[in-house]
A and B are shown apart, each in its own frame.
Chain A
Amino acid sequence: MLKGADIVLQCMRAEGVDLVFGYPGGAIMPLYDALEGSGVRHVLTRHEQGAAFAASGYARVTGKVGVAMATSGPGATNLVTGIADAKMDSVPLVCITGQVRTAMIGTDAFQETDVFGVTLSLTKWSRLVRTIDEIPEAIAEGFHWARSGRPGPVVIDIPTDILKAKKEFSGPSKFTPHARPAEANAEGAFSDTIVALLQRATRPVALVGAGAKLSGAIPELRRLLDDLNIPAFATVHGLGAVPPQSPYYLGMVGMHGTRAANTALHETDLLLVFGARLDDRVTGDPTRFAPNAKIVHFEIDPAQLDRVRACELPVIGNLADTIPAFQAELRHASLPDWSGWRAVACGPERAEADPRGLAQPTMRFLDELFSRLPQDNVIIADVGQHQMWAAQRYRSSSPRGFITSGGLGAMGFALPAAVGVQLAKPETCVLCVSGDGGFQMNIQELATVHRLGLPIKMVIVDNKYLGMVRQWQQLFYERNYAETDLSDNPDFVEIAKAYKIHAWRLKEAAMAEFPVSAETGDLIENFLRSPDPELLVFDCHPEANVYPMVPAGAALSEMVYGDE
């Protein structure tokens, strides 16, 4: 006879889970009681949101399912932002929540929340377990849906009496998916159409999104782009999918994308989209997005098609299947000479100017940091100006090397996500870049970092403002800096010390000379090479802005390059 809690853990082990993130509480106590000896390591975060983001970081960097645990009521509702983030960014995440006793459900019992209902629109699948017999099938099905197709979040809510109940356990279940709506075949039925479109195109481009990474089709994609040799660019989640040194690569596209990428996207007459959902941050004004282009959209999730801009040709399926099918067709095709178009789109006239203005020292700082990182590194960016600066300066070709909350844009993501990444990749240099606003949203996870001795390198780009909001207030609300002033920030160095974490401060003036002084260089080197967790606070100019910028509602061709 096994308790329900033991069955949950055995079923999770069968799904390959050996690490979970969580925070205990009343209703989930039986599961915590069963952890010891289960083969599942538990990492205690200091807030349930931290657990969800840590599990997300783990999942994003490994491609495996991340698991977060929390108790009923507030524990479960604290997971919600992490669940929403996982939905938006296609992260395989399973959340196990405790629930009040079965007999108490629906009575507004202490710490009772209808987490199944609360998360219904945020989850890919969820289940309120009603009997101990349901546990194996619920775990098997939940993990299946979390990792299959377009990955996403799953909630499994288990009443505490079911976790404590006992039964004979015959082993984990296997889930067999039921019939689904027929999907367009991925065997190349449309490849000849795409080839025909390419043969007619004079200005083709390729846009790469997160789906390229999630599908595991990076080698196939890179071969295809090399063969096509057309201008290519990436969304923030697509960074690293195309090697930046590729002669046809134009960098990041969208609101803070490069001049070359946005201009080419505006001018193209054939847009090949690989695993990107074309959200508003990428398209700008959708009515003027790629106005002369036909769009071929490679996408695993049909729900992502035609949301913002209709595509002429959807290619539904896993990129790992559809790209090779397309490439096979391409081998026999004769394609036009696009060298003239390539020369214009990738030419020096459209290259980014060196950073100027108030943001220049911060850009230099990020360049210094990134250039000194060991080869094996992962950068986790929080949300805000520093996120866009980091994305703009990112130069790695590691497909899972840049992690951020791109869809939901959840401030406070980076620090707990870095915990998950570092635990998944103990030998990797993990650099966590936050702003002063976002860092304080999950600052309590410094305790997790310290307890585990994780050698995460944490950077706070401290402009003493909610910088991105302030930038919009400056540009679009006549400098009415309403409630974005954080000039009374605490001393982050002292806070880190209270958590027994070594901390440094670097003044903006240190970036005035370029290359930086030996002293500054040594500080950055020591920061990065330390075997311990380290925090580096960089003082950024309060009114530094992120440029280029496509103002909200503008077309990609209407970029703004600076304050003047």
Chain B
Amino acid sequence: MQVFHIRYRNAQGALMRILNAVSRRGLDLTSVHAEYDGQDYAVTLLLEVSQKQIGQLSREWCAIVDVIEVRSSAVLRGHEEPVWAPHPPASETVAQQSARAALA
């Protein structure tokens, strides 16, 4: 199970576009929680996804014009708080990791 945390501008349809990326893949939405987070809006999704789908979903969300930030974490038994990681390949850090991997 993977938990995704997406910050977005609450423009018309923004949340629906985020959810569409899930529904178009036929994935079950185990849990959805959207709220105002003080400055923007945020939605937390719990999904059963493959490793490949984690990347695909994160990149598709990043491409939505009203999305500000995408983070994801595996839900680990015994850990109440997920360990968040910003999602690439948008982030420079991970892209540099890709570069190292490419040369490996």
- B99 cross-chain contacts in A, Cβ below 8 A: 189-190, 193, 313
- Whether the Cβ atoms of A184 and B102 lie closer than 8 Å is no
| Contact for A120 among B13, B60, B62, B66, CB less than 8 A | B13
Contact of B80 with A by CB under 8 A = no
CB contact under 8 A between A314 and B89, given known A128-B12, A303-B63 = yes
Q: Which of A305-338 contact B (CB under 8 A)?
A: 305-307, 310, 312-314, 316
| Contact for B89 among A116, A120, A125, A184, CB less than 8 A | A184
- A180 cross-chain contacts in B, Cβ below 8 A: 65, 67-68
A310–B54 Cα gap in the complex (Å)? 13
| Contact for B67 among A181, A197, A305, A310, CB less than 8 A | A181
Shortest C-beta distance, A272 to chain B (Å), equals 12
- Whether the Cβ atoms of A120 and B17 lie closer than 8 Å is yes
- Whether the Cβ atoms of B17 and A306 lie closer than 8 Å is no
Contact of A124 with B by CB under 8 A = yes
A120–B21 Cα gap in the complex (Å)? 11
- Whether the Cβ atoms of B90 and A193 lie closer than 8 Å is no
Shortest C-beta distance, B12 to chain A (Å), equals 6
Shortest C-beta distance, A87 to chain B (Å), equals 11
- Whether the Cβ atoms of B90 and A184 lie closer than 8 Å is yes
Contact of A59 with B by CB under 8 A = no
- Whether the Cβ atoms of B102 and A185 lie closer than 8 Å is no
- B37 cross-chain contacts in A, Cβ below 8 A: none
Among the listed stretches A70-78, A294-302, A492-500, A511-519, which one makes contact with chain B, having 4 or more residues with CB under 8 Å of it? A294-302
| Contact for B62 among A117, A178, A303, CB less than 8 A | A303
Contact of A183 with B by CB under 8 A = yes
A124–B11 Cα gap in the complex (Å)? 13
- Whether the Cβ atoms of B96 and A189 lie closer than 8 Å is yes
- Whether the Cβ atoms of B89 and A126 lie closer than 8 Å is no
Shortest C-beta distance, A166 to chain B (Å), equals 24
Contact of A375 with B by CB under 8 A = no
A480–B11 Cα gap in the complex (Å)? 50
- Whether the Cβ atoms of A116 and B92 lie closer than 8 Å is no
B95 nearest CB neighbor, chain A only: A184
A303–B66 Cα gap in the complex (Å)? 15
- Whether the Cβ atoms of B102 and A296 lie closer than 8 Å is yes
Shortest C-beta distance, A515 to chain B (Å), equals 50
A300 nearest CB neighbor, chain B only: B63
Shortest C-beta distance, A344 to chain B (Å), equals 25
Interface band, chain B: 20 to 34
Shortest C-beta distance, B20 to chain A (Å), equals 5
Contact of A487 with B by CB under 8 A = no
A252–B86 Cα gap in the complex (Å)? 38
- Whether the Cβ atoms of A121 and B20 lie closer than 8 Å is yes
- Whether the Cβ atoms of B101 and A312 lie closer than 8 Å is yes
- Whether the Cβ atoms of A316 and B89 lie closer than 8 Å is yes
- Whether the Cβ atoms of B101 and A116 lie closer than 8 Å is no
Contact of A127 with B by CB under 8 A = yes
A305–B54 Cα gap in the complex (Å)? 12
- Whether the Cβ atoms of B92 and A181 lie closer than 8 Å is no
| Contact for A302 among B52, B66, B68, B90, CB less than 8 A | B90
- Whether the Cβ atoms of B17 and A302 lie closer than 8 Å is no
Contact of A145 with B by CB under 8 A = yes
Shortest C-beta distance, A392 to chain B (Å), equals 32
Contact of A196 with B by CB under 8 A = yes
| Contact for A305 among B9, B59, B66, CB less than 8 A | B59
A180–B60 Cα gap in the complex (Å)? 13
Q: Which of B12-62 contact A (CB under 8 A)?
A: 12-13, 16-17, 20, 24, 52, 55-56, 59-60, 62
CB contact under 8 A between A302 and B89, given known A178-B68, A190-B95 = yes
Contact of A179 with B by CB under 8 A = yes
A303–B55 Cα gap in the complex (Å)? 9
- B59 cross-chain contacts in A, Cβ below 8 A: 302-306
Contact of A509 with B by CB under 8 A = no
A126–B11 Cα gap in the complex (Å)? 9
- Whether the Cβ atoms of B62 and A181 lie closer than 8 Å is yes
- Whether the Cβ atoms of B103 and A301 lie closer than 8 Å is no
- Whether the Cβ atoms of B20 and A120 lie closer than 8 Å is yes
Contact of B70 with A by CB under 8 A = yes
Shortest C-beta distance, A300 to chain B (Å), equals 10
| Contact for B69 among A120, A181, A302, CB less than 8 A | A181
Contact of A353 with B by CB under 8 A = no
Shortest C-beta distance, B97 to chain A (Å), equals 11
A310–B56 Cα gap in the complex (Å)? 10
Contact of A1 with B by CB under 8 A = no
Residues 6-46 of A, flagged 1 when their CB comes within 8 A of B and 0 if not, give 00000000000000000000000000000000000000000
A181-B91, A306-B56 given. 18 additional CB < 8 A pairs? A116-B13, A120-B13, A125-B66, A128-B12, A182-B90, A184-B88, A184-B92, A184-B95, A189-B96, A190-B99, A193-B102, A197-B103, A302-B89, A302-B90, A310-B52, A313-B102, A314-B95, A316-B89
11 sample A-B contacts, Cβ–Cβ < 8 Å, listed by A number: A180-B67, A181-B67, A181-B69, A182-B91, A182-B92, A193-B102, A296-B102, A303-B62, A312-B98, A313-B102, A314-B98
Task: Identify the 3 closest CB pairs spanning chains A and B, nearest first.
Answer: A303-B63, A312-B102, A184-B95
